[in-house]
Homo-oligomer: A and B are copies of this chain.
Amino acid sequence: MKSPVHITVTGAAGNIGYALVFRIASGQMLGKDQPVILRLLEIPQSAAALSGIAMELEDCAFPLLQDIVLTDDLSVGFHDSNYAILVGAKPRTKDMQRSDLIADNAKIFAAQGRAINEHAARDIRVLVVGNPANSNALITAANAPNINRQHFTAMMRLDHNRAKTQVALKTRHPVADVKHMTVWGNHSSTQFPDLGHCLVGGTPAFDLVSRDWAEDYFIPAVQHRGTAIIEARGASSAASAANAAIDHMRDWVLGTKEDDWTSMAIPSDEGHYGVKEGLIFSYPVTCSNGQYHIVTGLEVDDDMQNKMNTTEQELSQERDIISDFLKLSN
């Protein structure tokens, strides 16, 4: 049996956290041979709910769960942390401007970045789920200068999985047949779900679905799926978001399938596909040996380039709003 690893989850008592921590403890994220110590961070107001979740985790008798640490202290929450899933974020309230939301969350993620820099394991891998996820990841990375920037990522896997399913439903293929899906850019409504290289049972997706369907149905359906879920459930996506976080981390650590890739929002520092450097931008990636590698050499036509530019521009604008938080204060 391997040595246990420390996994930090912020916002652990929220709906995504509640759907996530049991699946981590069951071994679905890092494998059946990897003992885990959960470090669950919450705001003080959620301490009672968090203790209830810890009791329920105990009541599962998970063989891999070696310890549970509950805290509202960042230095405790990120102590020796090997993996962090940053779920907690301030939600958008009615009449709030998106720019205010971004600035409010910036403070939270800057503080977490500093705590990671000081207290986490030097090879910590970070996944930001809380929105605006890409910009929150950028802030977190900027405030943790002693940690490899490549280890700060934001979640596009929910969008990626949603895109695969829409193609599977349309083509009446099993979802496992849908490969080489890419969702580019920002985890927002400007994201670009791209069928250009997608294969369905080995056949190019565009041999099976029309360009009109992609434009008029597929792209907007994936971009706005979160809203559709809220309308149906009366609550935002929780179990499916938690599932995507499991998928993201598992593939990053244990590798993607040999004949497929996934979508991860990662630092655009090498400028692949002409994207401006210094953003957290979603690319197609393969993973092996705990590293991700951008899938290079994909053909990008003018229409695709325009769509990638749109989402890149939004990320640039978000970066402008949070620029104060990207400078190190200490």
Contact = CB atoms under 8 A, between A and B. Distances in A.
Interface of A: 18-19, 22-23, 26, 28, 48-49, 51-53, 55-63, 65-66, 158, 161-162, 164-165, 168-169, 174-176, 178, 225, 228-229, 232-235, 237-240, 242-244
Most B-side CB within 10 Å, residue of A60, A178, A228: A60
A158 to B, nearest CB: 7
Copies of the polypeptide in the assembly: 2
B58 A169 contact: yes
Most B-side CB within 10 Å, residue of A28, A158, A232, A237: A232
A232 B176 contact: no
Nearest to A222: B59
A166 to B, nearest CB: 8
Contacts of A234: 48-49, 52
A300 to B, nearest CB: 25
A239 B242 CA distance: 13
B174 A63 contact: yes
A170 to B, nearest CB: 12
Given A18-B239, A19-B19, A23-B23, A232 B59 contact: no
Contacts of A228: 55
A237 B59 CA distance: 9
Given A61-B164, A240-B59, A232 B174 contact: no
B232 A52 contact: yes
15 contacts: A18-B19, A19-B19, A22-B243, A48-B234, A49-B232, A49-B233, A53-B233, A53-B239, A55-B228, A56-B238, A57-B240, A58-B162, A59-B161, A59-B229, A60-B239
A65 B129 CA distance: 25
A65 B49 CA distance: 32
A16 to B, nearest CB: 11
A52 B161 contact: no
Nearest to A176: B63
Given A49-B232, A232-B51, A59 B165 contact: yes
B23 A59 contact: no
Nearest to A232: B52
Contacts of A240: 22, 56-57, 59-60
B56 A229 contact: yes
Contact of A237 (B56, B61, B63, B178): B56
Nearest to A163: B61
